[in-house]
Structure 1
Amino acid sequence: MPAAVESVFVSYAGPDRAWAEWAAWHLREVGHAVELDVWDWRIGDNFIERMNDAMRRATTVVALFSNNYFDPARWTREEWTSVVARRERIVPVTIEPLTASDIPDILTAVIRKDLHSLDEQAAITALLEAVNGPTGPRTAPSFPGTPAPVHAAPAGGAQGQRPRLPSGAGLPRVWNVRDRNPHFTGREALISRIREGLLGGRQAVVQALHGLGGIGKTQIALEYAHRFASQYDTVWWIDAAQADQILVRYTELAARLGIAKPEAGAEHNARTLLEHLHTQDRWLIILDNADDPHDFEGLIPTGPGHVLITSRNPGWNDRVHSLNLGVFARSDSLAYLSARMPGITPDQAGGLADDLGDLPLALAQAVGVITSGMTLDRYRHLLTEKTAKLMANGGPPGYPAPLAAAVDIATNRLAGDHPDASDLLRLGAFLGPEPIPTAWLEAVRDRLSTIAVDPDDIMWPQTALQPLARYGLARVDHETFQIHRLTQAILRDRSGQADTVRSEDDVATILTTVDPGDPDTPAAWPRWAAYTTHLAARKDTATSRPELRQALVRAARYLIKSGQERTARDLISALHESWTGVLGEDHPHTLDSAHYLGHVISYFGQYGEARRMHEDTLERRRRTLGEDHPDTLDSAHSLA
C-alpha cells in the first residue's frame, strides 16, 4: 500500500490502450483507486459527463504521452487542458520517444517520466515513483518472456490476466501477420469493443466481425493484431476462405510450436494443436474471411486464448459473439481523406465521402486514383457516369480486389447458387441506397416481372434476402434490407438495356403501390422519410413515368411541411427543370412542380422570384384548367 492513496484517472489515446491497461493494473496492485474508462464506464454512458466526473474525482491524472496523445482531433486534448486549467496534479509518463516540438508548449516545463525503452521491472518502478514518489513495488512481476500468472480481476471490469508492458514484450514469439496498414484511420470505439469482448470471460473468447464487402473487416483485425501484439505469445493469421485448408493451416502452426508430427497427417496435427491451445493462454488465432460456420464445426480453438473471425456471413451471430460492422463514420472518412490528400478542403472531402457512401475500400481506391494524377472533380464526375469502370481501378494495398471486382465475384457466386436472390439484388439496385422495407416487396410479390415468386412460398422474400447477407452484398434485418450505393451503381452499370427497363418497371410498381399516408400529417412523416429517399433516387426516370410524377410532387409537399426546405428545394428544382424541358411548361405536373417551387424559394428570402413564379403558374392554370379548378384556386391563394 502506498504512503498516500491517490484517486487516479488514466488519460490516454485510443491506440495506446494496451499501455493504459498495464499502467492501471499496476497502480491498482499497490492500492491506488484507479479509474480507467474501458474498465469502469458502461456502454451507453455519456462520455463527456463521465470524463468530467472522473476528472473532478481524481487527485492525480496519469497522462500517457505519445504522438497519438497530442493529436488535436482526440479527446485527450480536452482532458489535459482541463487538468492544466484547474491547476490539478498531472503525472506525465512518456511511452514513446518525443521531442520538445512534439509536446504543447504549456506542458514542456512539466517533469516527465520515461517508460519507453525500459524493461518491465524498471518501467513499473518508474511508474510508481511518478505517482507515489520514490517507492518501488512490493512484489516482483513476472518477466515478459514467460507466461504471467493469472490474478483475480480488480473491481470495475479489468481483465483477469495481468497486462504486459507493451514495449517490453515486443512481437510474439510465434507471429505470421503481415505488415500493419500505415494509413489505418478511426474505428477506435470498435477496436475497444473487440478488446473488451475478448477479455470478457464469457464464451466470447471468440469474436466475429461481419459486414458488407469492402467495409474493412480484415483491416480492423490486422490493426487489432498489431496494436495488442505485446499481450500474446502466439498470433497466427489464417486465410479461411477455403475451409478445406484449415487443417493444413493448423498443421503449419503446430509445426511452428514444435508439436507437429510430419508423418501423422493434417487432421491428427490439427487436433493436437487444438488440444495444446486448450491448455495455453496468451494466443490469438485470426480466421480471416471465414464463410459458412458449419464448415468450422469442431475447428474453433477453445481455452483461455482468443479467436477473431472476419466474415461477410451474419450466420456467425448464432454461434459466437459478433459485431456487425458499418461504413465509416463521416468523421473517420474526413480524417482519412485529409491525411491521405493534405490539400483537400473539408467541403471537398465531405462531398467525396458522400459520393462513396463512406465505404472504406471505396475511399482507399479513390485516394489511389486521385493521388496518381486525376483531379477530384474529374473523379466525382466519372463516379456518377462510369461507376463500374472507375471502381475497377485503383485497388489499394491490403484489399484482395478493387470494389467492382469484389462485387462481380460475389454476384457471380450468388447467381450460380441462388438465382432468385440474384434477381432480388438486381431489383434492389434500382431503388435508393437507404433501407428498403421488406413489406414493400410482400405487397407486390405477384406483380413483379423480374422475379418469379412461387405463390406457395410463404417465406419469400426472407429466403431470398438471407443469401444477400451471407455474400456481403446487403445488410438485412427483420424489417428492411440495404444495398450500398456503390454496389447498386455497379450492378446498374452491369445490367443490359432489357433488364434495366424491366427493373425500372418493377420499381415503379413498388413505389406506386406504397401509400405512406397524408404528407400533411406528422404521424405519417416517418413513412414518408423512407419513401421519399427511394422516390428521389428515381427522379430522373420519373419524367417518362406518369405514375411516379404525382408521387414526387406529394413527396415535395411532405418535405416542405416537415421543415426540410433545403432538401425540398433541391428536389423540386430538379423536377421542374426536367419536366419543363420534356413535358412542357403547361403540363399539369410541370405546373405542380412550379407551384411548390414558388413556395419553397420564399423560405430562402427570394420573394420577388417566388411572386413571379406564382403569377406565372396561376396564369397557366387559368388558361389550361379553368378559373374554378381546385389547382387554379390553390395558385390564387398562394399568390394572395
Structure 2
Amino acid sequence: MPGTRRQVGATGAQTVTISFAGFNRAWATWIGDRLERRGVTVVQQRWDPPVEVPLEESLRDLTLSRGRVLVILSDWYFQLGPRSHDEWNRALREVVAPDPDRFAAVCLTTSALPGATSALGAADLTNVGADEAERRLLVRLGLPTDPLPEPVEHRPGPRYPADTPEVWGGVPRRNTRFTGREELLNKTYQALQDAGSGAGVVALYGMSGVGKTQLAAEYVYRFGSEYDVVWWVPADRRALYRQRLAELAPELGLSTGVEYGERLRAVRDALRRGEPHSHWLLVLDGADEPENIWDLVPTGPGHVLITSRNPEWSEHNSNLVEVPVYSRDESVAFVRRRAPRLDPAEADRLAEALEDLPLLLDQTAGWLNDSDLSVEEYIELLEGGIDQDVVKVSADFPLAFQTAWSILLNKLKDTVPESVDLLRLCSFFAPGSIPVRLLKEMPAGELPEQVSGLLNDPLLWNKAIAQLRQYSVVRLESHESAVEEASSGESLYMHRMVHQIVGHDMTERDRKEFIDVVRRALAAADPGRPTDTRLWPAYAEITPHLKWADVLRSTDPAVQSLVLNCLRYMYLSGEYRAGIKLGERAMRAWRELIGEDHPRIWDLSYHYANLLRAVGDYAGTEAIERAAVDHLRTERGVQDLEHLRAAGGLAADLRGLGRYDEALEMSGWVLAAYRELLGDQDSRTLNAQNNLAVSLRLLGRYQESLELNQRTLEARRQFLGQRHNWTLASQTNYATDLRLLGRYSDGLSLQNQSARVHRLVLGNDNPQTLRAEYNLALCHYRSGDRTKASALFTRVLERCERVLGEDDPLTMMFAAGQSCFAREHADIDQARAISEKVVDGYLNMLGEEHPFVAGTRANHALILRNVGERDQAHTLLEGALAALTQAVGEFHPWTLGCAINASALRNLVGDPESAAALTDAVITRATETLGRTHPLTLSARIAHAADLRGVRERQRAEKVENEALGDLATTLGAQHVHTVSARSRNRPYWDFEPPIV
C-alpha cells in the first residue's frame, strides 16, 4: 500500500533520487551534498524527457528509481520539450497524485506552475539563505534538522547556488532560452576535472554562430558554484585581453601599482600560486588567434575555458571540445521557445532550412514569431532568393543565412533605419569589439547627416541599439550594466558573420562617406607618440581596424601618419609579423596612390625596414635603405634629416650583414651630422650615439662602447625619464658592456634592477624585456650563480619561441646561450640538438661567410669535443677560427676566444706545440685589445700554462699560472667560479654569444 512506504529518515536504507533539469545542476549538487552529510544515499538523475515519449510514461519511469524521488521544480523543468501546462497537469494527476509519499519537491521559481504540481508539496527555496533552504529541504524529506557535529577534517562543500563566487566579473547574463548541449557541458566539465595538476584548459571550438559563447556562459552558471573566482575576459585582441585580465588584480586584493603591466604580472602569479584562491575559472571569449595570446593563458590550480573558431588551440596544451550545430531535437526545442506560435513540425522545417545553426535560429525565429509570415512562405522566400544582390554568397555560410539576413536587414530598415546606418558604419571597423566611442568623440560637423543625428541623440542611439540587440545582431560590451546605462558605453560587439553581410547592401556614396568617417575617427584617436609605452594599449586597440577601414587608400595626411605610427608601435612592441604585413601592403598601395618618390614613401620605407630587420632580413632591408639613401642624398643633400635617418638604418643593415667596419664608418658620420644639426641632447642624436656604440661593441671595442652607452644612458635618464623604453634599452646596453669587460658584479646589479622595470613597463613578453632578462641570465652565469642563470635561460627562450617563433634572430640568440649553458651544466643531448638548429638557422639567414655562423660553429665544436668526437670538433674549430679571423680580424675578442678553444683541441689531437704557440699569441693580442686582466686574457693565460705543461715547460707554466691566478683573485675574487676552476686546473673555454646588431 502507498501509505506503508517509509519516509527518508526512518529506519532502514535511506536513498533519494534527485530529478533535475540540467539548467539546475548546481542546485542538485548542493542538495545532494547536504543530504549526503546526513548519511543519505543520493542518486542524481537529469530530467530530459524525449519529445516523442508521452509525459506520463517519462514520469512513470521516475518511479523505477531507488528510494524517494525529489523533484527540483523550476521554469526549466517544465519547459524541456516543451510541454503545455495541460499536458503536465494530466501527467501529474495520473502518476504523482496516486502515490504522494514517493515524491517530494523543492521549488526554485516564482513563476506560475501547472496547478497539479501541488501534489508534490514543494518546499519553497526562493529568496532564502543557505541555512533556511537546508532546513526547509530537511523538513520536507522528514529528516532531522539538528546541527551536525563538526567533522574532524573540514570538507568544503559546493557553494550555495544562490550565492555568487567571491570574485565574479564580466560574465554575460544567463541566456534563459539556452537549449540542450547537455553532453557538451558534461564533456567540458569532465575534461576540466580530469586535467590534473596545472590549469585545466578546454577550448570550445566551432564555426561562427554555433553558440560557443552561450555554451561557455551556461557552463559558468551551472558549475560556477564550484569556484571562488569566475572572470570572463574578451580575448579577440591581445591588448584588451591583457587589460581585462589585469583588472582582476584589485578584485583579488593584490597590492600593485597603477601600471597594467605590473597588475597583469601580479594576477598571473596569483593564479599560478592559487593564492588567495585556488578554485578559479577564467573564460577567454573569442580567442580566434591562439598565437596572439596563448603565452598569456594562466597556469595554476584553476581552470581555463576558451571559446574559439580555431582548432589550433590543441597545439597549445588545450583539450578541444568541438561545438557542432544543434541536433534537430535541440533546434526544434529552441525554435519553439523562441517562437511559441510555431508547432513542432513548423519548427522542424525552419530548423532544416537554417541548417540547425543556433545563431540563425535565434535571429530568425524571434522575428517570425512577431510577423504574420508563415514558415512555408518564409521557406519559399528562402528558395526563391529575396534580394540576392544585397548579400554576398559565401561557401562558409549556407544560402539560408544570406537570405535570412536580407529579410532581417529589410525589417530593420522599415523599423529603425538608423540601426542599419550604425551597422554599416561598424562594418568599416574590424569584426568583434567595435570602439564606437571613437565615433561619438568626433565633432558633429565632421559626421554625415544621418550618422550625426544617430550619434548625438541619446534616445535615437538607444533605440537603434535596442533594435540590434533584439535580433542578436550586436551586443553591448558592458555585460552587467542595465541597458540604459550600457547603451552609452564605449564599444559594441558585432559577430563576424554579421559583419560580413551588412556592408554589401550599400550605395557607393554611402560607402565612401562611412569609410571616410571611420578613417578620420581612427586618425583622431591616434595618440601620436608610439614610443610612449603608456599609449600602447591605445595603439593595440586601433591597429586591428586599419585593414577594414582601408586606410591605405586614403590620401589624408592624418590617416597616413596613423599608419606610420602604428608601424612604429608594432616594431617597438614586438608585433613584427603583423607589422610586416601592414608594411608590405602599404608600400604597394602608396606607391600606386602617391608615387614612388613621394616623401611619405621614405617615411614608410624606414618603418618597414625596421620591421624586416627585426626578423633578420638584413639583405632585404639593405636594398630598401640603400635606395632611400641614394635618392635622398641626391635630392636633398647629405645633411638632410631624412637622409641621415635612412643612413642610420643602412648602418644597422650593414651590422646585421656582418660588415662591421662599414657600419662603424657610417654610424660615426651620421652621429657627427646629427650633433652638428641638432646638438648633443636631441633624441635623434642620442639614438645615433646608441647605434655607434653597437657598432663599436660588434668590433670588440667594449670600453669605447661602454663610454658612449654611459653618456647615452645619463642623457636619456635626464631628458626621457627612468622608465622610458629607450632609457631602459640603454641600461641593458650599458650592463652588457660592463659584463663584456669582466665587471660582472656591476653589470649584474644594473641589469637586475633594469629587468624588473622592463617587466613592469613593457610587459614580460616584449622583445626588449626578453633581451634584458637574457642579459641578466648571462650576468648571473658569469657571476657564478648557475641556478638563477639556468631558470632564466630556459624561461626566456621558451617565451621568445612562443612570441616570436623559432627562426627569429632573438630566439636564435637566446638558443645559443641556452645551448652553451646546457653543454656545461645540464643535458649534452639537449645542448647538441639546440646548437644544430642554431647553426643551421644562422646559415640560412646570414650565409656561410657571416661571423655568427663561425661563432656558433665554434660553440658546436665544444659539444662534439664533450661527446668524444674530437677529430670532427678539431676540424670544425679550425674552420671557425679561420672564418672569424677573415671576418673580424685576429685581434677581435671573438677570434681570440675561438683560438683558446682551438688550442685545447690541438692538444687533444696530438699537436701540443701548435697549441702552446697559439695561446702565446692570443695572450699578446688579448692584452693589447682588452688588457692584461680582462677575463678573456686571463683565460688565455691559464690555457697557455696548461699548454706549456703539455710541452714539458713546467717551470714556465708554473710562473704563468701563478701570475694568472693572482690576477684572477684580484680581478674577480678568490672564490669566483672562474678563479676556483682555474685553481683546480680546469682548462677554460670560451662561448660565442651572438649579440644584438
Q: TM-score category by the smaller chain?
A: 0.5 to 0.7
Give 1:367's aligned amino acid. Answer: A
- The 5 A counterparts of 1:4-43 are 4=11, 5-37=13-45
Indicate the residue corresponding to 1:364 in structure 2. Answer: 362
The answer to whether the 8 A contact 1:250-1:270 is kept is yes
- The 5 A counterparts of 1:387-402 are 387=399, 388=402, 390-391=404-405, 393=408, 396-397=471-472, 398=475, 400-401=494-495
- Equivalent residue in structure 2 for 1:224, among 197, 219, 226: 219
Indicate the residue corresponding to 2:126 in structure 1. Answer: 116
Indicate the residue corresponding to 2:74 in structure 1. Answer: 66
The answer to whether the 8 A contact 1:174-1:236 is kept is yes
Q: In 1, Cα distance between the equivalents of 2:126 and 2:66?
A: 25
- Equivalent residue in structure 1 for 2:144, among 116, 134, 139: 134
Indicate the residue corresponding to 1:499 in structure 2. Answer: none
Give 1:211's aligned amino acid. Answer: G
Q: In 1, Cα distance between the equivalents of 2:210 and 2:201?
A: 20
Report deviation, 1:129: 3.0
- Secondary structure of 2:359's counterpart equals helix
Q: Residue 239 in 1 paired to residue 252 in 2?
A: no
Write the deviation string for residues 197-217 of structure 1: whole angstroms up to 9, x where unpaired. Answer: 334463673221000111110
Write the deviation string for residues 241-283 of structure 1: whole angstroms up to 9, x where unpaired. Answer: 11243322221121333325234x4333222102212311343
Report deviation, 1:150: 7.2
Indicate the residue corresponding to 1:383 in structure 2. Answer: 382
Give 2:340's aligned amino acid. Answer: P
Q: In 2, Cα distance between the equivalents of 1:35 and 1:51?
A: 16
Q: In 1, Cα distance between the equivalents of 2:361 and 2:368?
A: 10
| Gap change, CA 1:301 and 1:108, over 3 Å in 2 | same
Q: In 2, Cα distance between the equivalents of 1:200 and 1:55?
A: 33
Report deviation, 1:189: 3.3
Report deviation, 1:98: 5.4
Write the deviation string for residues 459-493 of structure 1: whole angstroms up to 9, x where unpaired. Answer: xxxxxxxxxxxxxxxxxxxxxxxxxxxxxxxxxxx
Indicate the residue corresponding to 1:251 in structure 2. Answer: 246
**Bigger proportion of residues as helix:** 2
Q: Residue 285 in 1 paired to residue 279 in 2?
A: no
Q: In 1, Cα distance between the equivalents of 2:164 and 2:285?
A: 23
Give 1:56's aligned amino acid. Answer: L
Q: In 2, Cα distance between the equivalents of 1:320 and 1:16?
A: 28
The answer to whether the 8 A contact 2:167-2:231 is kept is no
- Equivalent residue in structure 1 for 2:353, among 352, 355, 359: 355
Indicate the residue corresponding to 1:516 in structure 2. Answer: none
Write the deviation string for residues 102-150 of structure 1: whole angstroms up to 9, x where unpaired. Answer: 1442x41443322232221222232233334333241469xxxxxxx97
Report deviation, 1:287: 0.2
Give 1:330's aligned amino acid. Answer: R
- The 5 A counterparts of 1:484-563 are none
| Gap change, CA 1:331 and 1:50, over 3 Å in 2 | closer
Q: Residue 276 in 1 paired to residue 293 in 2?
A: no
The answer to whether the 8 A contact 2:30-2:159 is kept is yes
Q: In 1, Cα distance between the equivalents of 2:97 and 2:142?
A: 20
The answer to whether the 8 A contact 1:206-1:309 is kept is yes
Indicate the residue corresponding to 1:474 in structure 2. Answer: none
Q: In 2, Cα distance between the equivalents of 1:309 and 1:198?
A: 12
| Gap change, CA 1:365 and 1:9, over 3 Å in 2 | same
Report deviation, 1:54: 7.8
- Secondary structure of 1:322's counterpart equals strand
The answer to whether the 8 A contact 1:185-1:332 is kept is yes
Report deviation, 1:309: 0.5
Write the deviation string for residues 365-403 of structure 1: whole angstroms up to 9, x where unpaired. Answer: 223543564724453234232343543545632572373
The answer to whether the 8 A contact 1:59-1:88 is kept is no
- Identity score, percent: 31
Give 1:126's aligned amino acid. Answer: R
Q: In 2, Cα distance between the equivalents of 1:231 and 1:378?
A: 48
Q: In 1, Cα distance between the equivalents of 2:236 and 2:73?
A: 40
Q: In 2, Cα distance between the equivalents of 1:341 and 1:351?
A: 13
Indicate the residue corresponding to 2:110 in structure 1. Answer: 97
Q: In 2, Cα distance between the equivalents of 1:353 and 1:130?
A: 43
Write the deviation string for residues 52-104 of structure 1: whole angstroms up to 9, x where unpaired. Answer: 998535221122122222336279978997666666522212233355xx144
Q: CA RMSD in A?
A: 4.0
The answer to whether the 8 A contact 1:361-1:403 is kept is no
Write the deviation string for residues 308-346 of structure 1: whole angstroms up to 9, x where unpaired. Answer: 110011122342222101111112211222222222233
| Gap change, CA 1:346 and 1:121, over 3 Å in 2 | closer
Indicate the residue corresponding to 2:497 in structure 1. Answer: 403
The answer to whether the 8 A contact 1:35-1:54 is kept is no
| Gap change, CA 1:339 and 1:402, over 3 Å in 2 | farther
Q: Runs of 5+ in structure 1 lacking a partner?
A: 39-47, 142-148, 152-160, 418-640
Give 1:281's aligned amino acid. Answer: S
Q: Residue 209 in 1 paired to residue 221 in 2?
A: no
Indicate the residue corresponding to 1:446 in structure 2. Answer: none
Q: In 2, Cα distance between the equivalents of 1:261 and 1:115?
A: 41
Report deviation, 1:173: 4.1
Give 2:172's aligned amino acid. Answer: R
The answer to whether the 8 A contact 1:328-1:358 is kept is yes
| Gap change, CA 1:56 and 1:350, over 3 Å in 2 | closer
Give 1:11's aligned amino acid. Answer: S
Q: In 1, Cα distance between the equivalents of 2:119 and 2:381?
A: 53
- Equivalent residue in structure 1 for 2:305, among 301, 305, 308: 308
Indicate the residue corresponding to 1:165 in structure 2. Answer: 160
- Secondary structure of 1:36's counterpart equals strand
TM-score (norm 2): 0.35
Give 1:355's aligned amino acid. Answer: A
Q: In 1, Cα distance between the equivalents of 2:94 and 2:367?
A: 40
The answer to whether the 8 A contact 1:362-1:403 is kept is no
- Equivalent residue in structure 1 for 2:189, among 185, 195, 198: 195
Give 1:222's aligned amino acid. Answer: A
The answer to whether the 8 A contact 1:243-1:290 is kept is no
Report deviation, 1:8: 1.4
Q: Runs of 5+ in structure 2 lacking a partner?
A: 1-7, 47-55, 389-398, 410-467, 476-492, 504-543, 549-576, 579-997
- The 5 A counterparts of 1:451-466 are none
| Gap change, CA 1:18 and 1:242, over 3 Å in 2 | same
Q: Which has the higher contact order (CA 8 A, sep 6+)?
A: 1
